[in-house]
Amino acid sequence: MPRATSHNAKSERRDAILAAAADAFDRLGFAATSMEWLAERAGVAKGTLYLYFPTKEAVFLALYIRELDAWFERVDQALEKLPVDASTRLAGELADTLQQQPRLPPLAAILHTVLERNIGEAALLSFRRHLLTRISTTGAVLETRLSFLAAGDGARLLLRLHALIIGCWHAATPAPIARRVVERPELAPLRLDFSEELENTLVLLLEGWRHSGGGF
């Protein structure tokens, strides 16, 4: 392995690890992924992993952050093109952005219960600050697209959307074993499509917001 001396080379190595993590997450999920697998896949020694990330959770949190940043950008772009107060279309666009980043919802689903539990307090603080900045910025953009949103409502809406993503993903994604069970016609009402459910709920939410005149 060539030594990553320059800032650039280090960044590239970090990227390689995250790429391995992305691959692992898609195939195996967080729990089933071992640091050893990651190391092999990234082409580094196990110890080298810990030069770049303090814990396993930190690796996947970094992955989440990367996905999240990409998503916010995607959202920003989508919002720009949108007319004002087209809340239904807006909901659709948001759902679309998530379909283009299928890794984001399952990562969000373990964010609070797993990822945030074993990174340092410093890393946590940094992540949360970053999150707040992103939410605030995109929240402000959101406020320009929905006239019924008061100042600060944009961020609130995004936070709520975040919760919605987690909840819908959980509700719509049965365990592998549960898949078969839910296929039964009798249980059809319990079968949800993540994207659809999210979009529908979001439409209702926005509609409600519009008619409520704020205060949430």
Partner DNA sequence: AATGAATGAGGATTCATTCAT
Partner DNA sequence: TATGAATGAATCCTCATTCAT
The site for DNA (CB under 7 A) is made up of 1-5, 9-10, 13, 32-36, 44-51, 55-57, 118
Strands (E), the chain: none
- Stretches 5-13, 34-42, 58-66, 192-200: which one binds its own copies (CB under 8 A)? 192-200
1 CB neighbour count, 10 Å cutoff? 8
Contact residue for its own copies among 19, 32, 132, 150 (CB under 8 A): 132
With CB under 8 A as the contact rule, the residue among 77, 128, 144, 193 that binds its own copies is 128
Nearest distance in Å: CB 139, its own copies: 9
Under the binding rule (CB under 8 A), the answer on residue 190 touching its own copies is: yes
Q: Report d(CA 128, CA 162) in Å as an integer.
A: 14
Secondary element (H or E) of residue 46? helix 46-52
What is the CA angle 57-76-128, rounded to 5?
A: 30
Q: Which is nearer to DNA, 2 or 185 (CB)?
A: 2
- Nearest-angstrom CA–CA distance, 124 and 58: 9
Q: Which does 111 bind (CB under 5 to 8 A by kind): its own copies, DNA, none?
A: its own copies
Smallest gap from residue 163 Cβ to its own copies (A): 4
Please choose which of DNA, its own copies, none residue 44 contacts, taking the beta carbon within 5 to 8 angstroms, the exact cut-off set by kind. Answer: DNA
DSSP string, 161-210: HHHHHHHHHHHH---HHHHHHHHSGGGGGG---HHHHHHHHHHHHHHHHH
CB atoms within 10 A of CB 89: 15
21 C-beta neighbours (distance < 10 Å), count: 25
When CB distances are held under 5 to 8 angstroms depending on the partner's kind, the choice from its own copies, DNA, none that residue 110 binds is its own copies
Shorter beta-carbon distance to its own copies: residue 7 or 81:
7
Query: One symbol per residue from 143 to 162: x for binding its own copies (CB under 8 A), - otherwise; what is it?
Result: ---------x--xx--xx-x
